[in-house]
Amino acid sequence: MPINVILGSGISGLIASQFVNNPLIISKGESSFAEKINVPQIIHYSASTYQFLRRFFSKKELTTKSYKVGYFWNGKTHSKCPAQLVLSYYRKSRNIENDVKYSIEMKEASTVMTGRKSIFKGFTVTIQQLAERIYNDIHWTNDIVWGNVVKIDTKKNAVYFRTSTGMRTIFYNNLISTIPANIFFKLAGFNLIARQFKYADITILKLPRESDVFGNLLSQLGYDYIYFPSEEFPFYRANFLHPGWIVYEFSQPQRTLTTCNAIRNAQMTNDVEVEFKMPANTYALGRFAEWKHEVKVNETIDRAQEIAKVINKDT
């Protein structure tokens, strides 16, 4: 039987499994970042996303709301970000040193941060809830195997991975990668391409609301996210979506933060400059696989359907 292999069991991999014929997910079995941080992550609204979510949620569950974004500087929160602070924010959040190199990205970012999207529509069900529903759907099938991929041979259409019982090899008709692009190309032996993808280490800090006086004051202003574009604060964004926690994002590894509520993650820094072509019969799906920071779940759903239209013809 033809097999369409999906690398990764994060939300992008789970979404892909719902559209392609004969899917097989290869997963490390590790907790995703969304599970580790355990803070609601928003699914942006679109009509096609609603239709997809109806597979897993009732109409009653699929309510929407307007999420509000603010920008804090000079001791006040604003609904728009001045143009001169947009560059400051991106340099701060991605450790960017070369202003000219990222001028295209800055121009694109300014259309968002200057207030055109200070309010956006999203579902009240979260990415974590969607992942759980899909996973429960496929958990008792043969659509997922557990193992650590050690090599991808795009000429032989083969994936080599290590399981608890030893090495395994799976031959595929098509391969959908949802793992970070740098890791995919390294596993496929394209080391020169892999080195193009730059990222910065960041730190996510969760603070209990009852002990965070500053965060509590800000949360009372009615914003769901507040960005900090100036250099007066070490963090660049605060998230107020969780009823018990306020979440801060720092642009660098905060080695002084050793509490169990400080979690390390990565932030891609050059999503505009990198151009790459996937090998034959392979597809990239999701933010890190496509190496585009602005890719959202609703766009991943649409992209997964586009990929499925192509590969399902042969399987």
Mean pLDDT for all residues in the chain: 83
Of all residues in the chain, the percent with pLDDT exceeding 90 is 47
Which letter does DSSP use for residue 273 in this model? T
For the stretch 75-100, pLDDT in tens is: 888 888 887 787 777 777 776 654 44
For the stretch 101-143, pLDDT in tens is: 444 454 444 445 544 568 899 999 999 999 989 988 876 666 8
Q: How far apart are CA 280 and CA 166, in angstroms?
A: 28
Q: How far apart are CA 93 and CA 302, in angstroms?
A: 28
Count of domains forming the chain: 1
Token pair of 278 as six digits: 């996937």
pLDDT of res. 33: 43
Of all residues in the chain, the percent with pLDDT exceeding 70 is 80
pLDDT of res. 211: 86
Phi-psi region of 227 (alpha: psi -120 to 50; beta: other; left: phi over 0): beta
Burial of 7 (0-12, 13-18, 19+ CB in 10 A): buried
Q: What range defines the domain where residue 72 resides?
A: 4-311
Q: How far apart are CA 66 and CA 117, in angstroms?
A: 11
Q: What share of the chain is helix, strand, coil (3-state, %, to 5)?
A: 30, 30, 40
Least confident of 152-156, 160-164, 206-210, 224-228: 206-210
The CATH number that applies at residue 263 is 3.50.50.60
160 contacts 167 by C-beta, under 8 angstroms: yes
39 contacts 241 by C-beta, under 8 angstroms: yes
Q: pTM for the complete prediction? A: 0.87
Higher pLDDT, 58 or 291: 58
